[in-house]
Structure 1
Amino acid sequence: MVDVRVVGPDVERSGEVLTPEALEFVADLQTRFGAHRDALLAARATRRAEIAAEGRIGFRPETAEIRDGDWRVPPPPPGLVDRRVEITGPTEPKMAVNALNCGANVWLADLEDANTPHWRNVVGGQVVLRDAVRRQLEFTAPDGREYRIREDAVLPTIVPRPRGWHLPERHLLVDGEPAVGALVDAGLYLFHNAAEQLARGSGPYFYLPKMEGHLEAALWTLVFDHAEQVLDLPEGSIRATMLIETIPAAFEMEEMLHALGSHAAGLNAGRWDYLFSVIKVFRAAGPQYVFPDRGAVTMTAPMMRAYTDQLVAVCHRRGAMAIGGMAAFIPSRRDAEVNERALAKVRDDKTREAGDGFDGSWVAHPDLVGVCKEVFDDVLGERPNQLDRQRPEVAVTAEQLLDVAGVPGERTMAGLRANVEVALRYLAAWLGGNGAVGIHNLMEDAATAEISRSQVWQWVRNEVVLEGGELVTEELVRSVVAEEVAGIGELPHLDDARRLFEQVALADDFPDFLTLPAYELIS
């Protein structure tokens, strides 16, 4: 008999999702697949050591047969045929209602980077998802304002993003050990909503983050196959879109789709986590992998164009959807000039994506849905997607994917200060329980803090000289941190955020994910 125990604090309505049957299902997933997950994390470390020793990464010769083979993933399922606009956001009630009412095609309900894994958020997010699937979600704000799903709203397809394989859930113990966060998130959602979603003409769909290769995708296949059997779901009804947000995954796009098999729906191209992964994997490889200011590394940089062209070509060759990156701008209610400039950038980004063959793209705010939809409408017309558009001219090499030296831009004091300030503000909010934070009219999540702290770490270790002549040292960074803390002023959890940032940006050892030490600071 498996011992499963909840050791987190009481959460309102937790009894609706933490039922004995649901916990038994999650415990079964943990017992069957937890050790496999552990082995894959160990394999990550080995793989990174191999890459570091060689100073480069290439396409795997042992999987050439898959890349050369003639195969396709199943056609898009109901609710994922037209994905031209996807809105992302946490499973916080007010933001969830706004996402459901905004007219997007898909709501990426984020249990990962836009969510602090406080136990109240983990459980509360499952309650919100359960209500949203059944069109019962409503919320009354402290000021008395009421939020509910409009009766005439055509709901976007709900696609949760569980935590990555690396994160534990210490509030749910199976045989005395913390469960895998991803299995908790996906397991609870499947148990309560899979059959309901199918009955409503949709299905149990996911976004899968942070994977580093096809073996990690293959583990999700085992989890989904088992869940379908236990929950009596049709074979292949669980479908998933994988985020290609690590540099090892960029070299295994086809292998990952092949490994996910009947569960594969598409791939997504991001930016911050991808750049963070390049720094992490090549952190000891020398100055040829040192980026300019992160704000200068746009999706039009040659290495990023290679990455996105490869993703579209792979997806459409294999019958999978290609979904573009985030428009993180938050429109200002007071500054029309800021809005005009930012919306022009959003339009340019979405126009590039639609022109390159992407089938849809992400926005972080309901006010951006119309802009994104208009751009994709112009390209798609009456078609729901661009799966028929092949990219036979694309032939991306390893050198193109790793061309950090070809990224234009400078390393500046302003870039250093931006990294420090935004990371401090975000981490303070994260520690307080808010994983989606508006900073300088941009919606930031954990990926922002990761690229910010990793770039600071990289600049210190490589003794970068800034455009103004300043040598980036630990002492310089600490002085900038002190100045930015003083400039921010009073902010809850700022002291802890400062200590955490200095730990993950200045320590000799590079923590694989800042959310791991950060997790120790929350309840």
Structure 2
Amino acid sequence: MVQQQHSTPLNFVVTSTSASEQLFTQAAVDFLSALVSKFQPRLTELLAQRQQQQQYYDQGQLPDFDAATRHLREGDWRIAELPQELTKRRLEITGPVDRKMVINALNADVDVFMADFEDAQSPTWQGLLEGQINLRDANLGNISFTDANGKQYALKAQPALLIARVRGLHLPEKHILYRQQAIAGALMDFALYLFHNYQTRLARGSGIYFYLPKLEHSREAAWWADVFHFSEQYLGLNTGSIRATVLIETLPAVFQMHEILHAMRDHIAALNCGRWDYIFSYIKTLRAHPDRVLPDRQVVTMTQPFLNAYSRLLVATCHRRGALAMGGMAAFIPSKDAQQNEQILAKVYADKELERDNGHDGTWIAHPGLAATVREVFVDGLDSDNQLDQQPDISDVDQALLLQPCSGERSEQGMRMNIRVALQYISAWLDGRGCVPIYGLMEDAATAEIARTSIWQWIKHGKTLNDGRIVTAELFTTLLDEEAARVKAEVGSARWQQQPFVQAQQLLLDITTAASLTEFLTLPGYQQLP
């Protein structure tokens, strides 16, 4: 077990390892204990409020702008001035925190690497701790790696700016208990990264930067603001030493952007269009509304009116308040086939042009092979480091447009693709890998969530495919068996047996045919991780 020399309200229910001994020093445990003791009870209340709000949506209400905070939306105020190094974030790459990925991402031709402890990371205990050590070593500048073939990887002289993305507020960390309950994974990720890196970063004139995922309301942003203030006081840091970018990747949050910026005005730097999780949240939030069912996920792109409105509203809101407005993820992976790769890059280029023209200050990629193409748009295509002086026209953006479902077919082909993607992703996630190339796209938890919740909603509301068949649990079960056999043929029997595909198939069946929507597939999945 992890040894603690002094009394602490935390109970570590895990065997000590080299990684845990490096990270859970007495001082680090004291800091984490202080955070959990002060903020965990309030977080429990916030998560309960999420459930209460969802009940209103399930009873027929729709998300909307809050009349009680209209004065904040209409008021004249701005966030704290941005640190200079956070004003140029034209191109960001995202990925998990394994050692090789961290080095390659920091060496890529990008401005920022967002090291993801959440959607791109399967939260195995060992993987999370090794990820923290990898980021510590990256900040120290001494990270290196040698693969099984003897190839060596080392950090270049001037790597990209490192920003850490912690887990969402809903995700527990079962290996550390507080009052016999699992602590918030977000607090562990935040505490360890801050504690082990703040001195290194401040010594070279930088700050400690985070991405915060899946907020649904400004009261959750206020909770994070209090966490930041408390941490700065605890560690003797100046206010604003910690800065955050908040992902607007839930449907309720798009109606709370001014309020979120205001709640975190001392610590916020930007908002980000987390488009894939946003689509998932649209489905999840409006799950009880039969008139809000989305079509095949392949046609739900940023050109759809409700998503384009979300992008423009985010830009206008951020720029009015002095914050950067970051664009979303290009999930494509370059192809070795020249003709196919040309088509991929053309799609990426068009997608990024739309974001740039909407006024975004930067954007995301998941693969370094896309950097050159995206730089043509967001570096060569800009006259300055950002577009803070741009204000898109949002005169047409209102509640109706933001909630407008998009047209498109529900096809057997689309349903089968959803099944194959979700099955392969869940298997990889249970195997400890949270970011997986599947059929030319870099899939993470968000895209897998879209795949399985779409089918659940089609079943719930008895929607029909374009051939007239009603989507039922029985139809899904049949297609799941057929697509599992197809995946087995694609990956081979040996790999099928080595990886938890059977376990993943059962989990996908259970959550897709359940009477009630499973909030996040990662919650039941997490109980199956070591």
What's the TM-score bracket when you normalise by the shorter of the two chains?
over 0.9
- C-alpha separation between the residues in 1 aligned to 2:269 and 2:171? 24
Deviation at 1:66, TM superposition (A): 0.5
In structure 1, the partner of 2:484 is 485
Match of 2:398 in 1: 397
Q: Which residue of 2 aligns with 1:503?
A: 510
1:76-155, aligned counterparts within 5 Å? 76-150=82-156, 152=157, 154-155=158-159
Q: Once the 2 structures are TM-superposed, how far is the Cα of residue 86 of structure 1 from its aligned partner? A: 0.2
* Structure 1, gaps ≥5 residues long: none
Q: Distance in 2 between matches of 1:62 and 1:143?
A: 61
TM-score of the two chains, using structure 2 as the length reference: 0.95
Structure 1 distance, partners of 2:395, 2:354, is 16
* Equivalent residue number for residue 21 of structure 1: 27
Partner of residue 4, structure 2: none
- Deviation (angstroms), 1:195: 2.3
1:520 — aligned with what? 527
User: Structure 1 residue 163 and structure 2 residue 162: aligned?
Assistant: no
* Superposed displacement of residue 271, structure 1: 2.0
Equivalent position amino acid for 1:59 in 2: F
Residue 163 of structure 2 aligns to a residue whose secondary structure is strand
Contact 1:224/1:238, CA 8 A, preserved across alignment: yes
State the Cα distance separating 1:285 from its structure 2 match: 1.7
User: Aligned ranges for residues 271-290 of structure 1 at < 5 Å?
Assistant: 271-286=275-290, 288-290=291-293
Aligned letter for 2:409?
E
Q: Which residue of 2 aligns with 1:270?
A: 274
C-alpha contact (below 8 Å) 1:78/1:202 kept by paired residues? no
User: What amino acid maps onto 1:422 in structure 2?
Assistant: V
Deviation of the 1:46 alpha carbon: 0.9
Give ranges in structure 2 of 5+ residues lacking alignment.
Answer: 1-6
Aligned mates of 1:261, 1:310 — CA distance in 2: 18
Matched residue SS, 1:75: coil
Task: Indicate if the aligned counterparts of 2:117 and 2:164 stay in contact, CA closer than 8 A.
Answer: yes
What does the per-residue CA deviation read over 1:101-141, in whole Å, with 9 as the maximum and x for residues that have no partner? 11210100000000011001110110011001111111111
Deviations 1:410-444 (A, max 9, x none): 11001100110000000000000000001011111
For 1:224-279, what per-residue CA distance to the aligned partner results, in whole angstroms no more than 9, with x for missing partners? 00000011111111110111111100110110111112111111112221111111
Tell me the amino acid that sits aligned with residue 127 of structure 1. Answer: I
The secondary structure found in structure 2 opposite 1:325 is strand
Question: For 1:32-431, what aligned pairs fall within 5 Å after superposition?
Answer: 32-150=38-156, 152=157, 154-286=158-290, 288-332=291-335, 334-381=336-383, 383-391=384-392, 393-404=394-405, 407-431=406-430
The question of whether the paired residues in 1 share the 8 Å contact of 2:57 and 2:288 is answered with no
The DSSP-based 3-state class of the residue aligned with 1:262 is coil
Deviation per residue, 1:120-163 (Å, 9 max, x gap)? 1110110011001111111111222111112x3x2111111100
Q: Secondary structure at the match of 2:86?
A: coil
- SS of residue in 1 equivalent to 2:265: helix
Stretch moving more, 223-232 or 371-380: 371-380
Report the CA distance shift for 1:12/1:335 in structure 2 as closer, same or farther (over 3 A). farther
Provide the identity percentage.
46
Q: 1:393 to 1:412 in 2, by over 3 A?
A: closer
Q: Distance between the aligned counterparts of 1:387 and 1:45, measured in 2? A: 36
Q: RMSD of the TM alignment (CA)? A: 1.3
Separation of aligned partners in 2, 1:284 and 1:392 = 32
CA gap of 1:228–1:343, structure 2 versus 1, over 3 A, is: same
Q: For residue 362 of structure 1, give the secondary structure of its aligned residue in structure 2.
A: strand
Question: What TM-score, normalized by structure 1, do the two folds share?
Answer: 0.97
The question of whether the paired residues in 1 share the 8 Å contact of 2:313 and 2:394 is answered with: no
Q: Within 2, Cα distance between the matches of 1:61 and 1:311? A: 19
Q: Which amino acid aligns with 1:339?
A: N
Task: Report if the CA contact (8 A) 2:79-2:266 is conserved.
Answer: yes
SS of 2:449's partner is helix
> What letter is aligned with 1:297?
V
Q: Is the 8 A contact 2:312 2:394 kept in 1?
A: no
Task: State the 1:61 CA deviation.
Answer: 0.4
